[in-house]
Amino acid sequence: MIQDIEPFKFKNVYKEKEPVANDFIYMLRGNEILMKKSESGSYTLPLYSDFDEISTLVYLFEINSHSVFYCQDIEKFTVRWNVALLFDRFEFLFVRFPRWLQFVCVTAKHLVAWYQSNKYCGCCGNLTNYKNSERALYCSHCGNVIYPIISPVVIVGVIDKDKLLLTQYAHSDFKEHGLISGYVEIGETLEEAVRREVKEEVGLKVKNIRYFGSQPWGVNHILIAGFFADLDGENHICLDPKELSTGRWFDKKELPRELSDISITYEMIETFRNSK
């Protein structure tokens, strides 16, 4: 999965620090990310030393010996004459960057989106400020403190003996087969969310719900909890057309293979495929 980056070490403890030469600079422009292209044609994130001038930097986290800083003002920077930087589509990083750097960029996007959407206090409308002691924003006018938001999501592999239920979204550019998933509602346990999502999306009941694993996914600001569950009763699928376009039982031999192994969906499908 995307967070499996050994031997690289990710440290998300907030620090007050200034950037140094080998620190990464993370910059977004809409759905584009700033990349550095080497003479050999490989790509990475730019370093602080690649800029002659850059300001409004916010510390995010560390990866090995590199700190990662977010540049708020994408209009006010100058690049050293011998450095090739370009803005390109965010999704290109999944084919250009190594796994550990993909994780860096996805996690940074989560934090950047939080900073950008909380420039103003949701209680009184005044500008927020950075707290120096922790990763939080605060309003000096009303005292409101704002922390990063992580939304819980469940993903479910529904099993009927030697078959696994796969679905496809109804209104999405993502056309691969996947597992049933959805946000956890207020007042709900993860297991209750599993039962509700399966019932709502395909009209089935499940039992023997068991935890598989989890995955942070910063692009959507979510934490995904994966579960397997056994079919309880009839296996007739009744799709919710607002959510899904297809739903079908696959045996192990005909299960499709995802193009990328970065997702918990891939891990769960392969775990079922290789089970006995």
User: Does the structure show a pLDDT above 70 at 259?
Assistant: no
Query: Residue 59: which domain range?
Result: 10-109
Report the pLDDT averaged over residues 230-254.
90
Whether residues 86 and 69 share a domain: the answer is: yes
User: Does the structure show a pLDDT above 70 at 9?
Assistant: yes
Residue 3 belongs to some domain of the structure: no
Compute φ and ψ for 7, nearest 5 degrees. Answer: -90, 10
SS3 31: coil
What is the DSSP annotation of 195-226?
Answer: HHHHHHHH---EEEEEEEEEEEEGGGTEEEEE
User: Does the structure show a pLDDT above 80 at 172?
Assistant: no
pTM: 0.89
Give the model confidence (pLDDT) of 10-57 as tens digits: 999 999 899 999 999 999 999 999 999 988 888 999 999 999 889 889
User: Does the structure show a pLDDT above 90 at 154?
Assistant: yes
Give the model confidence (pLDDT) of 202-228 as tens digits: 999 999 999 999 999 998 999 999 999
What is the number of structural domains in the chain? 3
Give the model confidence (pLDDT) of 65-104 as tens digits: 899 999 988 888 888 877 888 999 999 999 899 999 999 9
Whether residues 127 and 168 share a domain: the answer is: no
Whether residues 155 and 143 share a domain: the answer is: no
Whether residues 249 and 164 share a domain: the answer is: yes
**Local structure of residue 254 (DSSP, 8 states):** G
Residue 4 belongs to some domain of the structure: no
Whether residues 78 and 102 share a domain: the answer is: yes
Residue 1 belongs to some domain of the structure: no
Whether residues 59 and 37 share a domain: the answer is: yes
Predicted confidence band of residue 256 (pLDDT cuts 50, 70, 90):
confident
Can you give the CATH number for the domain in which 166 is found? Answer: 3.90.79.10
